[in-house]
Structure 1
Amino acid sequence: MLKHRDHFHGSDLEKIEEIYGIKKEEITSFSANVNPLGISPLLKKNLSERIDAISTYPDREYTSLRKCIAAYCGTEYENIIVGNGSTELISLFIQVRHPKKTMILGPTYSEYERSVSLEGGTSLYYPLKESDQFMLQTEQFIESLNESIDLLIICNPNNPTSTAICQKDMRKILDACKQYDIFVMVDETYVEFADNYAQINAVPLTAYYNNIIILRGTSKFFAAPGLRLGYAVTGNRDLIDYINTHKNPWMINSLAAAAGEIMFQDDDYIQETKRLISSERTRMLQFLEQTPDFHPYPASANFILVRIKNSRLTSELLFDRAIREKMMIRDCSTFPFLDNSYIRFCVMSPEMNDKLLACLSRN
């Protein structure tokens, strides 16, 4: 198992407050990758009217919520499983599948490897190469697959690289995995932020392949990490039945279920989020491309991975510089295959983006 150094997660503002003496309420987190618009206005307006929901047990089947999610992502509600955040669903799925050997595209989110390890399995990383701009070379990757692998885990778009695999290439991967009896878990936490969502979204593939499960949540796009509402999509009904017999009967509370039904229908908020992230991501990339100290990589998610080209700068130094100005970025030296010449930060409001770029590019 790869060793991951201690680091500040986007939710670790209490640690920052203790170490730097800066009140957490004053810190803008460019590390948490959360929608800068905050929660859905429709949710703010209407959730209080559903407060009586907590006086009764949730529907064991969460039928109304699952129908809202299905309409939102374009599938049948019978293909939906809901859970207490996507992280819980990652753990639940791995517990159910109990893979002995898992391949993970890296660098990526460390929770995948941790969950596999807790179930007694081992993980093998397939590294995305900097020389390829961290874009997966599908044909080369397929050649690395074999019958000893039980599970393949793909974050798409990937964290922290922000690169994505298109649906056409995902089909090729699924076909190859079929030959070796490999199940594929695709984490689409950030897919809704992508300009080319229709080309990346793998949900349509669940209608044709029974060896894929897709995980999503509401923490990032819907700015609701405290709600702990996630969902999975798969066309494998046998897998759904098996998971349902092994999970807790009420995985999310009544208020979270009601909130989900509201936010997935807030189309104005959804479209405004997409417009803001798209325009600001483009603007930030253009700025960084013209800055000699940095090399930004192609970004599909709401964050940008940057290589530091100036030998006098490090990820630790830039993290420290930004936090002293009450902005928190991600030092990427803790990710497998990256070192202290990489940082990651998400797209926030235009004003805060300008402030961060000025801070990072200052001589």
Structure 2
Amino acid sequence: MIRHTDHFHGSDLEKIETVYGIKKDEITSFSANVNPLGVSPLLRKTLSDKIDVITSYPDREYQTLRKRIANYAGCEASQIIVGNGSTELISLFIQIKHPQKALIIGPTYSEYEREISLGGGTSLYYPLKEEEDFNINVEDFITHLHEGIDLLVICNPNNPTSTSISNRQLRLILDSCKQHDIFVMIDETYVEFADNMDEINSIPLTYYYNNLIILRGISKFFAAPGLRLGYAITGNLDLIKEINKRKNPWTINSLAEVAGTIMFTDKDYIAATKQLISSERARIYDALKKETKLYPYKPSANFILVKIKKDHLTSQDIFDAAIRKHLMIRDCSTFPFLSNKYFRFCFMQPEKNDELLDCILETLHDNSNFIGDRKCMM
């Protein structure tokens, strides 16, 4: 029997195999937040032809890759640092800035606090309020900024709430941070999925603020977490020099380097991804809004946070019901400020989304003794 303390990340499929006796290849992960279209067709078609690149070292400066990212992201190549996933770049940034006290907007991804702690700092949280649908109240938030804070961490769109902060709001925050000498790190892992990307994309702000660094990667939108390619964008050239000094050479392997030069040019794939996520996001949100025993929070990213309003039904129960059907959602009870009434799932292909919706609604309206009597599939 699964314990209530057992929670699973989107990459924990091996643990699912052990606990539930379900082969990982048979599980559809609605927890990993990865593009359901899979790898870019252009990348799939052309990468094998470039296999011989592994016989040579990559370019230490990754000039071609940085130019390709700059064209895609709308910035200068000189503003870009590439790394072995965004996690490496977060670590390098923390090592250089050594924030003693960071403010994190939560609930959010736990890796920020972990990296800050490893760097010897402590983290405080500014909690997004449920009564405001986890949207930020900028006027109130700014009153919590002061000289005792070294670093502000924002995930935009935020994981797991799927809410976002507009450029207009970010300007107010950055202005206040500038006054208090606070550096701002914005994680834009999910920004490419947003319908309002132009309104929340903070890259243009790097031309006006030197206390800003933006993190992105290819794990989610380009469905390539195994390539471990991330990039950071900042207008602070001194910070770029410091990070490059500390970086180990060739942290990105040759295949990841050449893959990066290909995938950002696959315009058909990018457009198809945006269209699929946009339509499914609207459809699923509308369907969930009709259920009085659920409360979906309006999503900006490729996933949605949902609150259970039925007594005695928990996120663990929803997880159990879904995994029995080989569908894996995210129990959000381990996120700061969230209880066992919250769960999250990403948008997949329509037929799979329908399968999960049916499962959730069946569990919601099931009055049998299933709830609280969790028996794992064997």
Q: TM-score range, shorter-chain basis?
A: over 0.9
After TM superposition, give the deviation of residue 91 of structure 1 in Å: 1.4
- Give, in whole Å, the separation in 2 of the partners of 1:238 and 1:47: 35
**Residue type matched to 2:153 in 1?**
I
Name the residue aligned to 1:125. Answer: 125
In the alignment, is the contact (CA less than 8 A) between 1:94 and 1:119 conserved in 2? yes
Name the residue aligned to 1:172. Answer: 172
In the alignment, is the contact (CA less than 8 A) between 1:293 and 1:361 conserved in 2? no
Q: Secondary structure at the match of 2:348?
A: coil
Name the residue aligned to 1:276. Answer: 276
Unpaired segments ≥5 residues, structure 1 = none
Q: How does 1:8-157 map to 2 (within 5 A)?
A: 8-157=8-157
**Residue type matched to 1:50 in 2?**
K
Q: How does 1:187-202 map to 2 (within 5 A)?
A: 187-202=187-202
**Residue type matched to 2:110 in 1?**
S
Name the residue aligned to 1:256. Answer: 256
After TM superposition, give the deviation of residue 160 of structure 1 in Å: 0.1
Name the residue aligned to 1:336. Answer: 336
Q: Secondary structure at the match of 1:9?
A: coil
Q: Secondary structure at the match of 2:22?
A: coil
Q: Deviation per CA, 1:143-192, whole angstroms, max 9, x where unpaired?
A: 10000000000000000000000011101110000001000000000000
Q: Deviation per CA, 1:270-325, whole angstroms, max 9, x where unpaired?
A: 00000000000000000000012210001000000000011131000000000000
Residue-pair matches, total:
359
**Residue type matched to 2:306 in 1?**
V
Q: Deviation per CA, 1:117-165, whole angstroms, max 9, x where unpaired?
A: 0111000000000000000001110010000000000000000000000
- Give, in whole Å, the separation in 1 of the partners of 2:214 and 2:329: 28
Tell whether 2:204 aligns with 1:207. no
Name the residue aligned to 1:288. Answer: 288
In the alignment, is the contact (CA less than 8 A) between 1:332 and 1:342 conserved in 2? yes
Name the residue aligned to 2:236. Answer: 236
**Residue type matched to 2:62 in 1?**
Y
Q: Deviation per CA, 1:92-133, whole angstroms, max 9, x where unpaired?
A: 111111100000000000000000001110000000000000
**Residue type matched to 1:126 in 2?**
Y
After TM superposition, give the deviation of residue 6 of structure 1 in Å: 5.3
Unpaired segments ≥5 residues, structure 2 = 366-378
| Identical residues among aligned pairs (%) | 69
**Residue type matched to 2:8 in 1?**
F
Tell whether 2:350 aligns with 1:350. yes
After TM superposition, give the deviation of residue 7 of structure 1 in Å: 2.1
- Give, in whole Å, the separation in 2 of the partners of 1:69 and 1:349: 28
**Residue type matched to 1:212 in 2?**
L
- Give, in whole Å, the separation in 2 of the partners of 1:101 and 1:334: 23
Q: Deviation per CA, 1:236-278, whole angstroms, max 9, x where unpaired?
A: 0000001100110111001100000000000000000000000
Q: Secondary structure at the match of 2:226?
A: coil
Q: Secondary structure at the match of 2:7?
A: coil
- Give, in whole Å, the separation in 2 of the partners of 1:264 and 1:7: 34
Tell whether 2:215 aligns with 1:219. no
- Give, in whole Å, the separation in 1 of the partners of 2:8 and 2:221: 21
**Residue type matched to 1:140 in 2?**
D
- Give, in whole Å, the separation in 2 of the partners of 1:143 and 1:213: 22
- Give, in whole Å, the separation in 2 of the partners of 1:232 and 1:6: 33
Structure 1 stretches of 4+ moved >6 Å: none
**Residue type matched to 2:37 in 1?**
L
In the alignment, is the contact (CA less than 8 A) between 1:157 and 1:165 conserved in 2? yes
Q: Secondary structure at the match of 1:185?
A: strand
- Give, in whole Å, the separation in 2 of the partners of 1:6 and 1:112: 22
Q: Secondary structure at the match of 2:295?
A: strand
- Give, in whole Å, the separation in 2 of the partners of 1:93 and 1:360: 41
- Give, in whole Å, the separation in 2 of the partners of 1:87 and 1:356: 31
In the alignment, is the contact (CA less than 8 A) between 1:6 and 1:334 conserved in 2? no
**Residue type matched to 2:85 in 1?**
G
Q: Secondary structure at the match of 1:226?
A: helix
- Give, in whole Å, the separation in 1 of the partners of 2:253 and 2:139: 44
Name the residue aligned to 2:183. Answer: 183
- Give, in whole Å, the separation in 1 of the partners of 2:6 and 2:94: 24
- Give, in whole Å, the separation in 2 of the partners of 1:90 and 1:318: 33
- Give, in whole Å, the separation in 2 of the partners of 1:319 and 1:199: 34
Using the size of structure 1 for normalisation, the TM-score is: 0.98
Q: Secondary structure at the match of 2:152?
A: strand
Q: Secondary structure at the match of 2:243?
A: helix
In the alignment, is the contact (CA less than 8 A) between 1:330 and 1:343 conserved in 2? yes
